[in-house]
Each structure stands twice: as structure tokens, then as C-alpha cells.
Amino acid sequence: MNNIVFLSLMTLMDLLRAHTALQKKDEGKFVDILENYEVCNSEVCLKRASHIQKFLNTSVNPCEDFYSYACGGRGDKPDLSSESVEETAEDVRDVLETILENMEVGKGHQNITDKLRVLYKACEAVQEEDNLDGLSEVMTDSGFKDWPIIAGSTGYKNFSNYSEALLWTGPNAFFDLNLARSSADLTTIILQIEQTRFPILARDILVAEDVSDENEADCNDSDEDGCNTYYDDAESGPRVQAVIDAYKSLIQSAVLIMRPKIKNRS
């Protein structure tokens, strides 16, 4: 909601000029200076400016309290629903997509908008997952020929210590590394080390010690979100369990590296 308010305020500052002619006083006469500004005069812009003006509270001095001036006219108007926010976000995305689809990029120097258009078209040029072979090669070279890597897999490799594993897989298998500017000293660059993220599996599955037969039966008869439906298929169940076990083992290893003195129950 704060983002919407901020964007509305920024839009207000730009679009109010499209609804009311800008004037200045020159020797006792008001002279229209609209031509000195790049103002959107289209029907859409005028409609948006009119909509924003409905929320103004012109009794407030904008120099003293701009927020109350720009949004004080809401009064008892109902707050935006979450559905409205989502619909607005979808509309903005559709508008941006339309703009990017119809942009023409000229030759020579490219501004940031032109670069965005080129990037968008580069992504659109690949509509299918047609580069899986290349991805497989990268994963194989990184030590992840098979996943999960368990005893018996063709990509299984026995390491004697974590240093060997890190040299083979890279550090991102255990934790995320980022470079950032220090908040305490802006002239200093620091190395940030964070716990690796696992967005594929839900947290409740990762931390669950086991799945009881009772819970499994309940989930088989339920479509509720959060139910563990991975065990419905007798064939895929063991492989899924192997993936979960591999993730758990990896998390435990990462935690031990980050905090060697931590207890198992922690």
C-alpha cells in the first residue's frame, strides 16, 4: 500500500500539470507557460489526473503537509481491496508489455529504455526450454550430474572433507555469497555469507522428521494447501524421499559450517 501511495504522489506531481494550465505572473499578467513543459495531454492522462484530483484536500497547504494535501480527500472512501491491488499490478504489467512490444529501437546510441526493449525481446525470443542440454553440461561440470547425489548415483563422489566438496561444487551449494557496501563504512566492501535457500520444497516438508501413516491418509483424502501430496505415487515416493533426505543432509552440513557449536536440536 505504501508503494501505491508513493507512486500516486509521484504521478500526481506529473499529471496535475496536464489538468491545469501552468501560469506565471509577468508584469501583472498571467502568461501560459504550458509549452515549456513536456506534458501528457492524452485522454488517458487527463482521466488519470482527474481521478487523482478526487483525493486532494485543497484546504491543506501542500508545503506544510503534502501527504494530507494529496490523500486527505479520501475521507470515508473504502480502502482498496487486495484484489484491486493485484488487478492494478496486472494492468501495469500488461501496459508495460504492450509498450515494449511496440517500441522501435533505433540504431546508434541506446538509452536505458532501448536497452530494456532489447533485453525484453531477447527473453521473448526463447519461448521453449530448448537449452536443457547446455544446462545439463553445466550441472555435470559442477558435480551435479544426478540429483539427488546419493550412493549409487552415477554422479556420486566421496569427499574426505568439506574443502574438497566446496572445490568441486562451489560454495553456493552450502551458502550464498554476496558483495555489498558496509553500512558502517560506505568506503568498505564486505562479503556477506547467508544460509542457502531451498525454494523448491516447502519448509514444513524440510523440517518434518517423518510423515506418519495417519497424516499421509488425511492428505490423500484432502485437497487442502499444505498437504504433503508427494507420497500419493508409490513409484515417485521413494525418489522424493531421497531428495528430501539429501536436502536435510545439505542443510545440516551448511549449519555446521556456519555455526560449528550449534546443537542438533537447535
70 exposure class (CB count in 10 Å sphere: 0-12, 13-18, 19+): buried
Q: Give the contacts of 118 (CB within 8 A, at least 6 positions apart).
A: 105, 110
Do 238 and 160 lie in one domain? The reply is yes
Do 183 and 101 lie in one domain? The reply is no
pLDDT level of residue 215 (50, 70, 90 thresholds)? very low
Residues of the domain holding 25: 2-78
How much is the pTM? 0.28
Structural domains in the chain (count): 3
Q: DSSP letters along the chain, please?
A: -HHHHHHHHHHHHHHHHHHS--EEEETTEEEE-GGGS----SHHHHHHHHHHHTT--TTS-TTT-HHHHHHGGGTTPPPPPHHHHHHHHHHHHHHHHHHHHH--PPSS---HHHHHHHHHHHHHT--S---HHHHHHHHHHTT-SSSS--TTSTT----SSHHHHHHHH-GGGTEEEEEEE-SS-TT-EEEEEEE----SS-HHHHH-S---HHHHHHHHT---TT---TTSSTTHHHHHHHHHHHHHHHHHHHHHHH-TT--TT-
| Cβ atoms 173, 247 nearer than 8 A | no
Domain boundary among 58, 78, 98: 78
Do 72 and 160 lie in one domain? The reply is no
Whether 133 shows a pLDDT value over 80: the answer reads: no
Whether 59 shows a pLDDT value over 50: the answer reads: yes
Q: Does 131 fall in a domain?
A: no
Average pLDDT over residues 65-80: 77
pLDDT in tens, 163-211: 777 777 776 666 777 788 888 888 888 877 776 665 555 555 555 555 4
Candidates 156, 118, 167; CA nearest to 246 is: 156
Q: Does 174 fall in a domain?
A: yes
Candidates 47, 48, 67; CA nearest to 57 is: 67
- Distance between CA atoms of 253 and 168, rounded to whole angstroms? 16
Beta bridge partners of 175: 195
Do 205 and 187 lie in one domain? The reply is yes
Do 169 and 251 lie in one domain? The reply is yes
Do 72 and 108 lie in one domain? The reply is no
pLDDT level of residue 135 (50, 70, 90 thresholds)? low
Q: Does 198 fall in a domain?
A: yes
Do 153 and 254 lie in one domain? The reply is yes
Do 158 and 207 lie in one domain? The reply is yes
| Cβ atoms 51, 18 nearer than 8 A | no
Do 17 and 56 lie in one domain? The reply is yes
Do 73 and 9 lie in one domain? The reply is yes
Do 155 and 248 lie in one domain? The reply is yes
pLDDT level of residue 108 (50, 70, 90 thresholds)? confident
Percent of the chain with pLDDT over 70: 41
CA angle 59/57/12 to nearest 5° reads: 130
Poorest-confidence range of 72-76, 103-107, 250-254? 250-254
Q: Does 134 fall in a domain?
A: no
- Distance between CA atoms of 45 and 2, rounded to whole angstroms? 22
Do 239 and 213 lie in one domain? The reply is yes
Q: State the Cα torsion 250-253-257-263 to the nearest 10°.
A: 130
Return the pLDDT at 107: 76
Q: Which residues of 157-178 are buried (b: 16+ CB within 10 A; e: fewer)?
A: eeeeeeeebbeebeeebbbeee
Average pLDDT over residues 3-18: 49
Return the pLDDT at 220: 46
Poorest-confidence range of 6-10, 133-137, 161-165, 230-234? 230-234
